[in-house]
Amino acid sequence: MLGYYPGCTVRAHQNENFEKEALAILKVLGISVEELSEWECCGAIYPLTNDEYVPLLSSVRALKRTEEEKKEGLLTLCSACYHVLKRVNHRMNNDKEAKRRVENYLDDKYEGTTKVLHLIEVLRDQVGYKKIKEHVASSLEGEKIATYYGCLFLRPEKEMELLDAENPGVMEEIVKALGAEPVIYPYRTDCCGAYHASDKEEVSNGASLKIVMSAKKAGATQLVTACPLCKHNLEHCQKDLQDEQKLPVHFITAPIYEALGAEKKADEQPLAN
Amino acid sequence: MRFPTKTASIKEQQELADIIQKNVKDCYQCLKCSAGCPLTEHMDYYPHQVMLLAKMDLYEKIFNSKTLWVCASCLACSSRCPRDLEPAKVMEGLRTMIIRKRGEGNVEVVNPKGVPRQALISSMRKLRR
């Protein structure tokens, strides 16, 4: 049983169905998850300053709760939550000073046994592309899907250790398993402008539009990502384009959900939680 | 380029070193950080120039630059730095020095409507505190 950490943005934007689709896919593929009994926002961004410890606290609480509830790992859907939880975990296990201060503050010990997992990682390691292929009910043949990784999912490479940060291939393999054609384009690991969406819109729009245009040029019919903020930026930057020029942006779960026919299958049994 | 003579005080140099736990003097200007940065078009100093100015203790120039507030901490530079100096971390250190001194950042959240909360929380934490 994996512990499930929804995170603030995924939970707040339920109408985008990221959570619903992800839970349905996991159910179909036989991975059992249960939401942590209590959780709070991970902090949205990992502090790069070495002398601040307060921004680590909420993530440590989630890691500790996973340990207490004896889950095999902590599953996240959002790239940012994954990034923050994984780096905080890394810091707690490698920086004695940070661990001492955080534990003093929380007045509690964290053993450091929690493993932070991303949905993509679970699909790759615990399910496998072969099993995904076997479960495909309606192949997505003819779809050309561009995958966008973004920054927090991949970097810093030596701490995230999930994918090759310069040439990741996991989402492409998943897309292939669904029967669609993955589109390789130059900017799939470049930053979308991230939090500048809230203060310097021209920065995030410019960066995102470059990504969208490059995917379109490479022949994509849709763009998929695993980060709610990337999805917002990639969609928002196209607001001034004509409808026929727009490239639809989805979560990576959308094509999987569609190909597996997860909606029908999930209806037969209620989802976890 | 005319170089100013006002360099950072020992106290300021110590403050930066405390925050980032790195020695910016180790930078050998390979330009990998600037080559991979996706947001350079909005910057007045490129990341490698920030590193050079930090190396020469000319913090004042960086404090007055746009670059600090344009960096989105995407970590492309940090991940690729052959000296493991993490330019994004250096930027954060210098930004933090300004924020701690002023008690506030120089960036207002102007358009919070319809923006995912992840972006709001991140920008508050990075730029205002």
Residue B42 φ/ψ region, left for φ over 0, alpha for ψ in the -120 to 50 degree band, beta for the rest: alpha
Of B124, B118, B75, which is closest to residue A81 (Cα–Cα)?
A: B118
- Asked if the Cβ–Cβ distance from A41 to B121 is below 8 Å, we say yes
Q: What is the pLDDT of residues B35-84, one digit of tens each?
A: 999 999 999 999 999 999 999 999 999 999 999 999 999 999 999 999 99
For residues B12-16, give the mean pLDDT.
95
Q: Which two tokens stand for residue A225?
A: 């990502």
CB B103 within 8 A of CB B76: no
Nearest CA in chain B to A195: B119
Q: Residue A199 is nearest to which of B18, B108, B125, comparing CB atoms?
A: B108
Find residues 91-120 of chain A whose CB sits inside 8 Å of chain B.
none
Nearest residue to A54 via CA among A88, A20, A77: A88
Contact A60, A40 (CB under 8 A): no
pLDDT at B1: 63
Taking the Cβ of residue A239 and every Cβ of chain B, the question of whether any pair is shorter than 8 Å is answered with no
pLDDT on residue B111 = 59
**Residue B127: predicted pLDDT:** 82
| Three-state DSSP state, B85 | coil
How far apart, in whole angstroms, are the C-alpha atoms of residue A166 and residue B28? 22
Enumerate the residues of chain A whose CB falls inside 8 A of the CB of residue B71: none
Task: Give residue A233's pLDDT.
Answer: 95
CA dihedral A147, A31, A29, A90 (to 10 degrees): 20
pLDDT at A269: 58
A249-251 vs A33-35, strand pairing mode: unpaired
Whole-number pLDDT of residue A200: 86
With contacts defined as CB-CB under 8 Å, which chain A residues touch B83?
A: none
CA-nearest of A146, A164, A64, A75 to A108 is A64
Are residues A44 and B125, on separate chains, in Cβ contact within 8 Å? yes
**Which pLDDT belongs to residue A192?**
94
Give the C-alpha separation, A168 to A157, whole Å: 11
Residue A118 main-chain phi, psi, to 5 deg: -105, 155
- Dihedral sign, Cα of residue A198, residue A202, residue A203, residue A206: positive
Strand arrangement of the beta sheet that strand A33-35 belongs to: A33-35, A2-5, A74-76, A116-118
Q: A187 to chain B: which residues are within 8 Å by CB?
A: 38
How far is C-alpha B102 from the geometric centre of its chain's CA atoms?
16
**ipTM for this model:** 0.89
SS3 assignment for A108-158: CCCCCCCCEEEHHHHHHHHHCHHHHHHHCCCCCCCCEEEECCCCCCCCCHH
B67 membership: H or E segment, kind and range: helix B67-70
Contacts of A207 in chain B (CB under 8 A): 38-39, 72
Cβ(A224)–Cβ(A250) under 8 Å?
yes
| A157 vs B contacts (CB less than 8 Å) | 79
CA A253 → CA A101, A130, A188, distances in Å?
39, 17, 17
User: From residue A230, how far is each of A6, A73, A152, B8, B126 by CA, in Å?
Assistant: 17, 25, 10, 38, 18
The total number of residues shown for chain B amounts to: 129
pLDDT in tens, chain A (273 residues): 999 999 999 998 888 899 999 999 999 999 999 999 999 999 999 999 999 999 999 999 999 999 999 999 999 999 999 999 999 999 999 999 999 999 999 999 999 999 999 999 999 999 999 999 999 999 999 999 999 999 999 999 889 888 888 889 999 999 999 999 999 999 999 999 999 998 888 999 999 999 999 999 999 999 999 999 999 999 999 999 999 899 999 999 999 999 999 877 766 655 554
Residue A161 near chain B (CB below 8 Å):
no
CA distance A265 to chain B (A): 31
Distance CA A187, CA A208 (A): 10
pTM above threshold 0.95: no
pLDDT at position A114: 96
Quickly count: other Cβ atoms within 10 Å of residue A217's Cβ: 11
Residues of B with CB under 8 A from a CB of A: 18-21, 38-39, 41-42, 69-70, 72-76, 78-79, 86, 88-89, 92-93, 96, 107-112, 115-123, 125-127
Residue A144 phi, psi dihedral angles, 5° rounding:
-110, 105
Q: Which of B37, B128, B52 is nearest to A155 (CA)?
A: B37
Chain B interface disruption, residue of A48, A57, A151, most B CBs within 10 A: A48
